[in-house]
Amino acid sequence: MLKINENYLKLKASYLFSDIAKRVSEYTSNNPDKDIIRLGIGDVTSPLPTACIEAFHKAVDEMAKEETFMGYGPEQGYSFLRDKIAEFDFNKRGVKISSDEIFISDGAKCDTGNIQEIFDTKIKIAIPDPVYPVYLDTNVMAGRTGENKDGRYQGIYYLESTEQNGFVPDIPSEDVDLIYLCFPNNPTGTTATKDQLKKWVDYAQDNNALILFDAAYESFIRDESLPHSIFEIEGADEVAIEFRSFSKNAGFTGTRCAYTVVPKKCRAFDNAGNKTALHPLWLRRQSTKFNGVSYPVQKAAEAVYSAQGQEEVKKLTNYYLRNAKLIIEKMTKLGFCCIGGDNSPYIWINGNRSSWEFFDLLLNNAGVVCTPGEGFGKCGEGYIRISAFNSYENVEKAMYRIGKVL
Ligand code: MLT
């Protein structure tokens, strides 16, 4: 008899953003004349930078000619892209990361979801609450948790982000092996200082632990004192893996390109307690299960690092940050306490009522879609997340409508 992986039965029936999409489509089919403004899922709305589009077109043309056609690419991604990443995203910021420590992929979602495969199933995991659901769900699927009781999976150490700790979780009070962190944070939009990250790196070193650092939103950082990468902290290359994406800076949500940095020094331990490098394990995993990102997409991503690309990406992120500023201003004026939005495209708002009640109120009365905080974890109850990814005109309209109903 073929049996299923019963761990899947422990999961909530559907993924948060699918749940929301279902409610929105129900609303639109019942109200076909009402227009909806989507400030829910963090999906970009502006077109790709011209520099990327031009490189993309050129690469597609190359695929049409025998002399320039490309088949399977190198396993870790083309060096033309990895070299640029190493130079611009790390070396120029004084961080020593080499091109062969970078793995190009089709998304930070896939990488943050897949990385757990290279670790033992019996490790102790620390996961933030609220959290981007992928980190948690993929560990549930892998059997690293017990059942979900009262909104918490048994066996997980939850790193609570609350008003009391400024939405930056405290260092665990017990031993954990694998720690997920995300800064600028999804969903709260908070950032972590170098001193705060150093405490995590020290913890990982002292406890033979590892940090999985999701930096998908680093391009929104404007405060020069804030770290863009965990590798800005000395010693982090031994105890951290970092995830980056072209989705939110250059608008690649539909085009798909991202990368993961696994430094050569980065280690975990085998059953006998011997230090084991993670780089070869991730390479083995990726070369077995993944065939890379298409050549034209990698060419388009490379163009992000051209002078024109850099300028365009700055303009795009500034545009969304201007939206975020407007959201904070308006929601604060309406009497709500807002977090994030200054170095992040997300604004975390205390709604003074249940998250889903607030979500329904905004959807049904204002035609605005947000994300209910409770969907990100127990500590998110009472909050909503508003995303700044939309046109300025739509954000203005959404804020006007929200002002009328609250
Ligand atoms: C979000 O809204 O949290 C993100 O768009 C999800 C993602 O990037 O996968």
Asked whether 199 and 231 are in contact (CB, 8 A), the reply is: no
What's the predicted TM-score (pTM) here?
A: 0.97
Distance 387 CA to ligand 1 centre (A): 10
- Residue 15 C-alpha to ligand 1 middle, in angstroms? 11
Give the pLDDT of residue 15: 81
Q: Which atom of ligand 1 is nearest to the CA of 248?
A: 8
Contacts of 29 (CB under 8 A, 6+ apart): none
Dist. CA 42 → ligand 1 center (Å): 5
Task: Give the integer Cα–Cα distance in Å for 324 and 346.
Answer: 7
Please tell me the residue having the least CA distance from ligand 1 atom 1.
42
What atom in ligand 1 is closest to the CA of residue 247?
Answer: 8
pLDDT of residue 145: 97
Q: Which atom of ligand 1 is nearest to the CA of 187?
A: 3
* Cα 89 to middle of ligand 1, angstroms: 22
Instruction: Tell me if 186 sits within 8 A of 387, measured CB to CB.
Output: no
Nearest CA to ligand 1 atom 9: 109
Rounded to the nearest angstrom, the distance between the alpha carbon of 211 and the centre of ligand 1 is 20
In this structure, are residues 336 and 349 in contact, taking their beta carbons and an 8 Å threshold?
yes
Amino acid at position 54, single letter: E
Taking the C-alpha atoms of residue 44 and residue 219, their distance in angstroms, rounded to an integer, is 14
Residue 29 has a pLDDT of: 94
Nearest to 351, CA basis, from 388, 381, 387: 381
Give distance in angstroms: CA of 54 to centre of ligand 1: 27
Return the pLDDT at 267. Answer: 98
Strand-strand pairing, 240-245 and 258-261: antiparallel
**pLDDT tens-digit readout, 278-293:** 999 999 999 999 999 9
Q: In the numeric block, which tokens belong to residue 111?
A: 């990488």
With a Cβ cut-off of 6 Å, ligand 1 is lined by 41-43, 109, 132, 186
User: pLDDT under 50 in the chain at which residues?
Assistant: none
Phi, then psi, of 29 in degrees rounded to 5: -75, -30
Pocket residue to mutate for ligand 1, from 134, 137, 186, most atoms within 8 A of Cβ: 186
CB 40 within 8 A of CB 369: yes
The rounded distance, in Å, linking the Cα atoms of 80 and 71 is 16
For residue 270, the CA-to-ligand 1 centroid distance in Å is: 33
Tell the residue number behind the tokens 């299923």, with chain if given.
4
Distance (Å) from CA 134 to ligand 1 centroid: 9
Burial of 381 (0-12, 13-18, 19+ CB in 10 A): middle
Q: Which atom of ligand 1 is nearest to the CA of 216?
A: 8
Looking at ligand 1, which atom is closest to the CA of residue 387?
Answer: 2
Q: How far apart are CA 53 and CA 32, in angstroms?
A: 34
Ligand 1: atom nearest CA of 17 is 2
* pLDDT at res. 391: 98
Residues 6+ apart with CB under 8 A from 58: 299
Two tokens at 25?
A: 């489509």
Q: Ligand 1 centre from 207 Cα, in Å?
A: 31
Q: Whose CA is nearest to atom 4 of ligand 1?
A: 42
Of 110, 112, 132, which is best to mutate to test ligand 1, by the most ligand atoms within 8 angstroms of its C-beta?
A: 132
Calculate how far, in angstroms, residue 390's C-alpha sits from the geometric centre of ligand 1: 14
What pLDDT score does 128 carry?
98
DSSP assigned state of 47: P
Mapped onto helix, strand or coil, the DSSP state of residue 194 is helix
